Each structure stands twice: as structure tokens, then as C-alpha cells.
Amino acid sequence: MPSDLVIRRVEGARARKRFAHLPWRLYRGDAHWAPPLAGAQAKVLAGRTPFFERAEMSLFLAERGGEALGRIAAIHNRAHNEHYRDTTGFFGFFECDARDVEAAAGLFDAAEGWLAARGLTTLRGPVSPSMSAECGLLIEGFDRPPMPLMAYNPPSYPALFESLGLRKCKDLYAYLVDAHKLCPGTSAGDRLERLACAIQRRNPEITIRSIDMRNYSRDILLFMSIFDEARKHNWGYVPSSQKEILYSTTRLKAVVDPDLIFLAEVAGEPAGAMLAIPNLNRALSAVKGRLFPLGFLRFFRELERVNEARVLGVAALPAYRAKGITALLFCEQVRRCLASGYRWVEASWVLEDNQMSNESIIGALVPTRYKTYRLYEKPISPVAG
């Protein structure tokens, strides 16, 4: 390692600010990069969210001549390792000039050393800071900006990761749906409507209701209990604590579209849920990720013009899947998106080997699989650090 390259552990608010601001310099001029909400990310980087009640994280900066060139976070997610009886360490928030392989290698060495000191044997990521947040490295689909909570990175990163010994762990798919192709009168739209009508005729006890914004926290916890039950056997899934759920969803309350969040009930009992949000990234880009002091005015003005949404999740409880709940939820989402003026809908992310979910999305929505994200991993040397 050259003498002028320094890998420094980030300590204190000033150093965290340098860590947080690095992407603004690296992505300057890149029209597809969407900045994070600066205030929210600052809390994550400081470890001041409920996630860190069951996890710890250390940040590292690569510097030359006092200038920051790259960054990485090493994450010990105790909730994951307790759930899986595992010894996996994670990395996230990685950014670096891909031409500076020495800096990137130094960052990964520092992260591995910190994780090895905690007895962890496998490095996996990127997750920022968990699989319930932004995760995966974009490897296909660089021609459109990301949707909310989806990663973006230069096309050079996959080769950089592989040069450092990281190998594929899992791929995650993102599908793009052109809602106009599912309008009434189109062949795909009419087929979807016939399917929904057939499901309702066979199961008249199924009803759909929107989230009750007056009881937002109550309904969100109900929705997430459905997702927990439906996904508990999915690879990598770790149930979030009630505090984590309320923390992340309360921040979204001011910007969610209630028409895009709804519940399917069977004879009054919860059976399935659909959760989608408008593409907040369009509005965040307009204010460069900063709402204050006056950015929030432009943010909400831009949000009114957004015609894209991301489906974060659709779930049906196992006992009700045979009733066609998932297909009915998809159909309802299409109806609502068209009525509210949303043209493009992303369904993401879906594990590459989740055959049921992939087939359901392809069969119901006639989408384009337009982005692929990859989780990487490598063994951690027991002598690292």
C-alpha cells in the first residue's frame, strides 16, 4: 500500500459528514444518481436508529493527501446471525473511484479486519445497512435512475468487486411495468381484469381496503405482520423489530400515497397486503437530498409531478394463497395506479430463485426485467486485522 494512502476509521460528527458527502463528488454530473435524504442518512451513519439495537457498524474512509477517495461500512448484524445461527459480516455504503484499486482493496481489508475481530467468517454485501434497506450492487440496467431504496453505482463496480475476490451470492431482480399496456381495452389489461373478476366470483368474501391514515401505525404493523409471515422462509429475511418498522414507516407517512397501500381481507380477517410508494427519488434529486431550509417546498411540488411508483412488497398469507389473493392485489394496484396517473411501476426486489414471485409478476403484469442487483460474498481471513 503506498505511503500516501491512509485508511482511516471514521469517528465523530465531522468525519461522518465527510463520509456522507463523498458520493456528491463522485457522482457529480451523473444524471442517473439519486441522492439520499441527507438528514435520514446522517442518523443511520451515526447509528441512531432502532436497527442498531441489534447491530453495530464501523465506517472507514480512504484518503490521499487529506482528500477522501472512498468509503465503506462494516456491519455486524447480530439479528441476522442470531436468526440464522450464522457468522456472516456485512459491508455497505461502499463508494470509490473504480480506477483506484489500492484504495478499494484497503477499504475492504479494513472492513474485514473489523469483522474478523468479532469472530465473523464471511463477508457479504453490499447492504446499507441491511437487506431491509438498500441492498445489492447494480450489475444490469444502468440506463434509468433507481427507484426509492434501490441501489445505484457505476458500471465499473462489478469488475472491481470481482478483482478483489468477491463472488456472486444472490441476484435480485427489478421489473418495470408500463401501466398503459394494462389499460382496459388492451389484451393484457382485459386478461388481468377477467382474472380478477373470476377470483372475486369464486371468493366473494374477499374485500380490499386502503390503509387507514388516521390509524397509520396500527395498520402498518398489521401490514408488516403479514409480510413477516409470508416471507419468513425467504432467503436472507430477518424479521424487523416493531421499533424498526415504526421508525422507517413513520418517516414515509408525509409522502405516501394512501391509494397505493392496501389490504386484502377474507371474511374480515387479514389475508394479504400490497405496499407501494411514489418515486421519491425524482423529488429528492430536485432538492439534492436536502429538505431544509427551503428544499421541502420544491420537494413536494416535484412529488406532485411524479408518475412512477415502486411496489416494495406484495404478500399473501399461506392459508389464502390458493384463493388467488396475489393476482387480485396486482390487479387492484394496476387499477389504482392508472386512476392516479402513474405510468411506470417497478416491482422490486425479487430473489432470482423465488420462482413463485417471479412467475406471478411476469404472468400478471407483462413486465420488463430491467435491472439486476447482485449480492457478493467472500470468506474472511481468520488473520485479517
Q: Where are the alpha helices (DSSP H) in 209-311?
A: 216-231, 242-250, 280-286, 295-303
- The residue type at 264: A
Instruction: Return the closest-CA partner of residue 143 out of 305, 231, 32.
Output: 32
Do 5-173+375-379 and 176-372 have matching folds? yes
Return d(Cα 370, Cα 367) in angstroms, integer.
9
Return d(Cα 77, Cα 99) in angstroms, integer.
30
pLDDT at 53: 97
Each residue's pLDDT tens digit, 180-212: 999 999 999 999 999 999 999 999 999 999 999
Fold of 5-173+375-379: Aminopeptidase (3.40.630)
Each residue's pLDDT tens digit, 114-155: 999 999 999 999 999 999 999 999 999 999 999 999 999 999
Whole-number mean pLDDT of the chain?
93
pLDDT at 1: 44
What beta strand segments (E) does the chain contain?
A: 5-9, 55-64, 67-77, 88-96, 122-125, 127-128, 134-135, 137-140, 167-178, 206-210, 261-266, 269-278, 308-316, 344-351, 368-379
Domain boundaries along the sequence of the chain = 5-173+375-379, 176-372
Distances in whole angstroms, Cα of residue 172 to Cα of each of 60, 114, 235, 374? 27, 27, 11, 6
Q: Would the pLDDT of 27 be above 90? A: yes
pLDDT at 385: 41
Return d(Cα 187, Cα 181) in angstroms, integer.
8
Would you say domain 176-372 falls under CATH 3.40.630.30? yes
- Coil, helix or strand at residue 32: coil
pLDDT at 124: 98
Block residue for cell numbers 381496503: 209
- Coil, helix or strand at residue 320: helix
Burial of 77 (0-12, 13-18, 19+ CB in 10 A): buried
Distance of CA 372 to the CA centre of its chain: 13
Return d(Cα 336, Cα 276) in angstroms, integer.
11
State phi, psi for 210 to the nearest 5 degrees: -75, 165
Percent above pLDDT 90 for the chain: 82
Return d(Cα 270, Cα 223) in angstroms, integer.
9
What is the band of 254 on the pLDDT scale with cuts at 50, 70, 90? confident
What is the band of 290 on the pLDDT scale with cuts at 50, 70, 90? confident
